[in-house]
Chains A and B, each alone.
Chain A
Amino acid sequence: MAGNRRDFLKLAGLTALGATGASSIKATKADASTGGGHAENSSDGVRLAMVIDLRKFTKNDALIQRCIDACHETHNVPNFENDPKNEIKWIWSDDFETAFHSQEFHFIREDLKEKPTLLLCNHCDNPPCTRVCPTQATWKRESDGIVMMDWHRCIGCRYCVVACPYGSRSFNFKDPRPGIDEITVDYPTRMKGVVEKCTFCEERLARGLEPACVEVCDNDEIIFGDLNDPTSKVRQVLAERMAIRRKAGLGTQPEVYYIIDDPRTLQEVAPAAVVEVAEGGDHA
Chain B
Amino acid sequence: MYDAGKIIVGLVVFVVLATSPLWINVLTDEGPEAPTIVYPTNGSTECVESKEFMIPNHMDLLNEWRDEVVRDGTRDYVSTSNGKTFDMSLSRTCMDCHSNKAEFCDACHTYLAVSPYCWDCHVEPKGAN
A residues neighboring B (CB under 8 Å): 76, 141, 143, 148, 150-152, 183-191, 202, 206
- Chain A: minimal CB distance from B7 (Å): 55
Find chain A residues with CB under 8 A from B71 CB: 150
- Contact indicator B73/A143 (Cβ below 8 Å): yes
Q: Is B70 close to A, CB under 8 A? A: yes
Residues of B84-129 at the interface with A, using a CB-CB cut-off of 8 Å, are: 91-92, 120-126
Q: Complex formed: what's the CA distance from A143 to B123 in Å?
A: 28
- Contact indicator A148/B123 (Cβ below 8 Å): no
Q: Please report the total number of B residues contacting A with Cβ < 8 Å.
A: 14
Q: Complex formed: what's the CA distance from A189 to B71 in Å?
A: 18
Find chain A residues with CB under 8 A from B125 CB: 185
Q: Which of A186, A190, A191 contacts B92 (CB 8 A)?
A: A186
Q: Which of B66, B75, B126 contacts A206 (CB 8 A)?
A: B75
- Contact indicator B123/A152 (Cβ below 8 Å): no
Q: Complex formed: what's the CA distance from A189 to B126 in Å?
A: 15
Q: Complex formed: what's the CA distance from A187 to B122 in Å?
A: 7
> Which residue of the partner chain A has the closest CB to B63?
A152
- Chain A: minimal CB distance from B65 (Å): 11
- Contact indicator B122/A148 (Cβ below 8 Å): no
Find chain B residues with CB under 8 A from A184 CB: 123
- Contact indicator A189/B123 (Cβ below 8 Å): yes
- Chain B: minimal CB distance from A46 (Å): 12
Find chain A residues with CB under 8 A from B123 CB: 76, 183-185, 187-189
- Chain A: minimal CB distance from B126 (Å): 6
Which of A151, A185, A202 is most buried by chain B, counting CB atoms within 10 A of its CB? A185
Q: Which of A148, A185, A189 contacts B70 (CB 8 A)?
A: A148
Given contacts A185-B125, A185-B126, A186-B92, contact A191 B120 (CB under 8 A): yes
